[in-house]
Structures are given as structure tokens and as C-alpha cells.
Chains A and B, each alone.
Chain A
Amino acid sequence: MHRTEKEQADLIREISGVDTRKCMKCGKCSASCPAYDEMDIRPHQFVSYVQNGDVKALLESKSIWKCLSCFACLERCPRDVKPAKLIEAVRLMVIRQRGEDYLSPNEVPELLDEELPQQLLASAFRKYRK
């Protein structure tokens, strides 16, 4: 099914439950983000990109694979906007719609080591694959 960018933005708002209009553009989410330097589109920009319907750029952003889901942005946001949920929604959109997984089972063996906890694989598969 083909959606316009605006429809995609609405879908992101719906599955994330985020009201992007609540943002006052203070940047505290980005200021709190441990992965900020690794991101091409920053947490605070996710909010305005969705607000403005610039979804294409978000879908191509590498930031969605860098977010740690540590919830620092969500905890510290003065406006209760929850940028982490937006990033999650975009990531889901990518792995659901385009079938573009960021992790394939074939890569796993060489990423493993003796001490690696099961939990790490479980969470990585949840985050990276459909």
C-alpha cells in the first residue's frame, strides 16, 4: 500500500502515541541523548520532521539504528513529548514495510563471544528485525 509522506507521518504519530505539537523546541532530548554524535538526524529533529511530514528522510536516517532506547530523552523532556517513541515508530515502519532488517542471522555467529548474554541477542533481534 502506498502512503503519502503526510499519511506516513500520521501513522508514525498513531503508533508512537506522540503528539508532536507539544514540543517547544528546547532541544533537551538531544542534549540528553548518549547516541547524539552517531545520529544524522537528531532526536529533537525527529519531532519536527514528523510534525512537518518529512518522513522520507527519517526512513533513510541511520539514527533509527543508533537509538539505545535508554529513555533519557523521554524522561527529561519538559513537554512530555517522548522522542524515543517516534524513533521506535520509524524503525518499525522500516522493518515492517520494507522488510529491511538491520541484522541477519548469518552475521550472528561472528558477532558472538563466550560471555555474550542471550538477552543481547533477544533484544537486538527485536530491535533490528521484523
Chain B
Amino acid sequence: MVYSYYPGCTLKNKAQDLDRYARMSAEALGFTLEEIKEWQCCGAVYPQASDEIATKLSAVRALNDAKEKKQDLVTLCSACHHVIKRVNDDMRHVEDIRTKANNYLKLDTPYEGETQVLHFLEVLRDRVGFEKLKEKVVKPLTGRKIGAYYGCLLLRPSGVMAFDDPENPTIIEDFIRALGAEAVVYPYRNECCGGYISLKEKALAGSLVDQVMESAMDKGAQELITACPLCLYNLKNSGAARKLPVRYITELLAEALGLMTE
């Protein structure tokens, strides 16, 4: 199975691990991530205003590229996933945005939201299956207590993202269990890490990260995993010193699949 793949700017730079281990794991699990040509930055935040069109175009280009290849579009970074899924929803349901975006892009056939956008985790859950994944694990992570950090962008708004229950998600926990580790459920796993605010509002971001860390430690987590480079950065660099190690979901996956080269 071949999927179109949109890595996004950060995965080509600071978050190369997230990208590299995803590709390796995909091959091991029997699917291929085929990077789309000439992708542009998704903009990292979804433009909420109804009159913003130009800022959504790079997402539409990526979506159309996948459509032309008749492939589903897979993303990894939470921000890219959020932006692309929501823009796709706009292209499907908001006539005004669809018309204007197509007018700008002048495609041969207009893009109307045909592409299915999947997060890497959704591919694992819905296409590969966590049971199947479990069978492929060669180095089960037995005994490790791992907390999932979802953040906000993957889950909300749930109506559009349709990723998981926005208040009590289970997909990353199921993923952790499939890899043989113990999933630690803690209440702040879906609260914001501070996002872009950490650039200028250090104190606010710090208090949010502390809350997440404290909550995860309170429930007995020994390490955290996330899908988002910005979450990872904030969790590591904001707030108090008392911290759990944070890694990408794909690092953990590669480790359990025995793909880590040490």
C-alpha cells in the first residue's frame, strides 16, 4: 500500500527523527510513505477567519496532488495534520472557500475535498490494525510506563478532526499497548502545551507544561510520547526542571519493531 506523504517543514529539519522512523516503520509494516512533490509549508496554524483563502492554498495543493495520484494523504506533525484536515473539510463543505480556492489554483479539474487525510496513527489503527502491529513487534517494551500526550490539535475540533474522543482519547494508549508497554492515562493529556505562545509568553507556556508533566507523573508515567514537534519542544523546554523524557511516537514504534540502530 502506498500513501502520499506530507512531511511538513519541521520534519525536514528539527524533527528528522519523527520523519525517519516513520518511513522505516512503515516499510516494516508493509506500507510506503511517498513524499509528495513540491510541498509547501502548511502555515502551521489553521486560518479560522472565513475570509482567509490564500493561507489555505498550500494545503489544497498537497491535497490535490494526492488526489491526482489517487492516494490517501498521510501526515505526522499535529499542526500539519490539523491544518490539512480542516482545509480539506472546508473544500468539501464550504462553497465559498471551495470556489475561491479553485479560482486561485486554476486546476484542470477543481478540487472538492476528494482526498482522504489520515494521520500516521490513523493508518496504524484503521489500515494496519493494532492487532497486526502487535504481531510485528520484535522488541516488546514490556514493563515501561508510557503516557500519551495528545495536545489539542489532533483532537479538536472533534467534529472536523474525527480523530478520537476529544476528552478521553484512546488511540495512542492502544498504540502503546500494542508495543507491549503499559499505557498511563492521565487527565491533562489533551490540554494545550502552549503551542506557538511559548515564543513570547514563556511563563504561560511553562505553567501549562508543568501541569501536563505533574499530571502524567501523578498517574505514574515514566516517559511521554507525542506526535508533534512543537509539543515535544515545549514539553522539553518550558516550565520547571522536573521532567519526564519525551519522545516521538515513531521513535517508540521503530524501537519496538527492532529498527533502532544504536
Q: Is the CB of A119 within 8 A of B199?
A: no
B94 to A, closest residue via Cβ = A17
User: Interface residue count for B (Cβ, 8 Å)?
Assistant: 42
Q: Is B116 an interface residue (CB 8 A)?
A: no
User: When chains A and B are docked, how far (Å) is the Cα of A71 from the Cα of B79?
Assistant: 13
Give the complex CA separation of A65 and B201 in angstroms: 9
A89 at the interface (CB under 8 A from B): yes
**A1 an interface residue at 8 Å Cβ cutoff?**
no
Q: Which residues of B contact A113 (CB under 8 A)?
A: 237
Specify which chain A residues have a CB less than 8 angstroms from the CB of B192 in the assembled complex.
34, 68, 70, 72
A15-B51, A71-B152, A74-B156 known; A123 vs B195 contact (CB < 8 Å): yes
A66 at the interface (CB under 8 A from B): yes
Report how far A16 CA is from B51 CA in the complex, Å.
9
Q: Tell me the smallest distance from the CB of B7 to a CB of chain A, in Å.
A: 12
Residue of A nearest to B55 (CB): A126
Residues B157 and A119 in contact, CB atoms below 8 Å apart: no
Chain B residue at minimal CB-CB distance from A12: B49
Complex interface: chain A residues within 8 A of B109 (CB): none
Q: Per DSSP, are chain B's interface residues mostly helix, strand or loop, or mixed? A: loop
Q: Which of A35, A85, A117 contacts B14 (CB 8 A)?
A: A117
Query: Are B237 and A115 interface neighbours, CB within 8 A?
Result: yes
Interface of A is mostly: helix
Beta-carbon contact of B197 and A72 below 8 Å: no
For residue A15, which residues in chain B have a CB less than 8 angstroms away from its CB? 49-51
Cβ-based interface call for A121 (8 A): yes
**Distance (whole angstroms) from the CB of A114 to the closest CB of chain B:** 9
**Contact (Cβ within 8 A) A119 B49:** no
Q: Which of B48, B155, B156, B194 contacts A16 (CB 8 A)?
A: B48
A71 to B208 Cα, complex, angstroms: 15
Complex interface: chain B residues within 8 A of A119 (CB): 8-10, 44, 77, 79, 229-230
* Docked pose: A14 CA to B48 CA in angstroms: 12
B180 at the interface (CB under 8 A from A): no
Interface membership of chain A positions 53-70, coded 1 if the CB is closer than 8 angstroms to chain B and 0 otherwise? 000000000000110111
Bound Cα distance from A122 to B9, whole angstroms: 9
Q: In the complex, are the beta carbons of B157 and A74 less than 8 A apart?
A: yes
Instruction: Determine the residue in chain B with the shortest Cβ distance to A74.
Output: B157
CB contact between A120 and one of B47, B152, B191, B230 (< 8 Å): that residue: B230
Is there contact, CB below 8 Å, between A66 and B201? Answer: yes
Asked if B14 and A116 make an inter-chain contact with CB atoms under 8 angstroms apart, the answer reads: yes
Contact with B along A69-82 (1 / 0, CB 8 A): 11110110000000
Give the nearest-CB partner of B229 in chain A.
A117
Q: Are B49 and A92 in contact (CB under 8 A)?
A: yes
* Chain B residues numbered 225-243 whose CB sits less than 8 Å from any CB in chain A: 229-230, 232-233, 236-237
A to B CB contacts below 8 Å, 24 in the list: A14-B50, A38-B201, A65-B201, A68-B196, A69-B195, A70-B156, A71-B157, A72-B192, A75-B156, A75-B157, A75-B166, A85-B48, A85-B49, A88-B49, A92-B49, A111-B199, A111-B200, A113-B237, A117-B232, A118-B41, A120-B199, A121-B199, A123-B45, A123-B230
